[in-house]
Structures are given as C-alpha cells and as structure tokens.
C-alpha cells in the first residue's frame, strides 16, 4: 500500500507539473506574439489617373499597431514613356496601420509629369515604426505598370481573411 501511495503522489505531481508548465509556456508565447511587430504587406495597388496618385493597400498582419511615417518612390520609364526617370525621397506620409487591418496609403507622383504608361516601373519604399522601438523599418515593393493595372479603377488585391479596409487618413 505504501508503494501505491508513493506512485499516486508521483503521478499527481507529474500531471500538475505538466499542467503548470503548459500554462506558463502558453502565457509566454501569447505575450511574445502580442508584442512582436509584424512587417506590413502590400496586398493591392491602383493608379488614380486624375489625381496622379498611386494607392496601395497595406495589411498589418501583427497584433502591434504600426505607423507609416514616410515613403520613397523611384520611377523608371518604360519604352512608351517620354518622361525621364526620377526619385522622390523621404516624403512624409503619417498613415496608421491598426492591427489585423488593411489601410490605404496614397502616394503622389511627381507633379507636372505625364501619366503612367504600360512598361513603367515604380519602386516604393514604405518606412514604418512601432511603439516598442525608436527604430525605423522599411518594406520595398515594385509595381510594373500593365494595361490591366491602368484599367482598374479601385485598388485591387488578394483578399485577406479577417482584414477590413479602413479609410485613408489623407
């Protein structure tokens, strides 16, 4: 009977230890998930011909709010374009990206330039911050202009489950 009690106490101790360890590991993992910022993902884009702007749909897949603070843009002309290549660097943007949402980031192209043509290439770098670090991070996206891209009226992209489009802050 004495051996049975010792085995029973050992078994109960193992079960309690396993339960407590599992709970603590879950709490640490969920805390890490909530405090580690994710990199924003560009899920769609369009061109507004009248306003001469590019509209990007940017998804924040993490639980930490992000803020797009500035952007840079590089235009490389295609064969059909007479416009010279140009760069717009460090343009202030200030667009908040709440967790698990899609936001519109509107980028103005260089004033007094012709409309985009098929074959043009736009390289965009979005610089963003998060509340847990004073550092600034960047994500780069290249858009090759096609006929289909120019014909779209709204920003189109891959649907993201659980993401909602929020209005642009501009």
pLDDT tens for 119-144 read: 888 899 999 998 888 899 999 988 88
Report the chain's mean pLDDT, rounded to a whole number: 83
The confidence band for 58, taking pLDDT boundaries of 50, 70 and 90, is very high
- Give dist(CA 32, CA 11) in Å, integer: 32
Q: Residue 3 contacts by C-beta under 8 Å, 6 or more apart in sequence?
A: none
- Say what the pLDDT of residue 109 is: 87
How far is residue 163 from each of residues 4, 124, 139, 158, measured CA to CA in Å? 56, 23, 20, 11
Q: Which CATH number fits domain 41-166: 2.60.40, 2.60.120, 1.25.10, 3.30.70?
A: 2.60.40
Q: How many CB atoms lie within 10 A of CB 101?
A: 18
> pLDDT tens-digit profile of 89-106?
888 888 999 998 999 998
Q: Where do the H-state alpha helices sit in 64-161? A: 147-151
Cα 21 from Cα 101, distance rounded (Å): 34
pTM: 0.71
pLDDT band per the 50, 70, 90 thresholds, residue 88? confident
Q: Nearest to residue 55, comparing CAs of 85, 87, 84, 93?
A: 93
Cα–Cα distance between 21 and 50 in angstroms, integer?
A: 60
* Per-domain residue ranges of the chain: 1-35, 41-166
pLDDT grade, residue 153 (50/70/90)?
A: low
């Amino acid at each position: 009977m004495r051996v049975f009690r010792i085995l029973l106490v050992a078994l109960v101790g193992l079960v309690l230890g396993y339960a407590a360890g599992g709970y603590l590991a879950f709490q640490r993992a969920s805390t890490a998930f909530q405090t580690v910022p994710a990199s924003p993902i560009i899920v769609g884009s369009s061109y507004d011909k009248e306003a001469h702007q590019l509209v990007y749909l940017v998804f924040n897949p993490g639980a930490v709010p992000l803020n797009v603070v500035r952007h840079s843009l590089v235009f490389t002309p295609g064969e059909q374009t007479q416009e010279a290549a140009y760069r717009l660097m460090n343009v202030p943007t200030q667009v908040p990206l709440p967790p698990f949402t899609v936001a519109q980031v509107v980028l103005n192209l260089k004033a007094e330039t012709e409309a985009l043509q098929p074959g043009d290439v736009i390289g965009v770098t979005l610089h963003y911050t998060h509340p847990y670090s004073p550092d600034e991070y960047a994500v780069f996206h290249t858009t090759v202009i096609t006929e289909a891209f120019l014909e779209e009226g709204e920003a189109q992209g891959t649907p993201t489950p659980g993401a909602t489009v929020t209005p642009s802050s501009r």
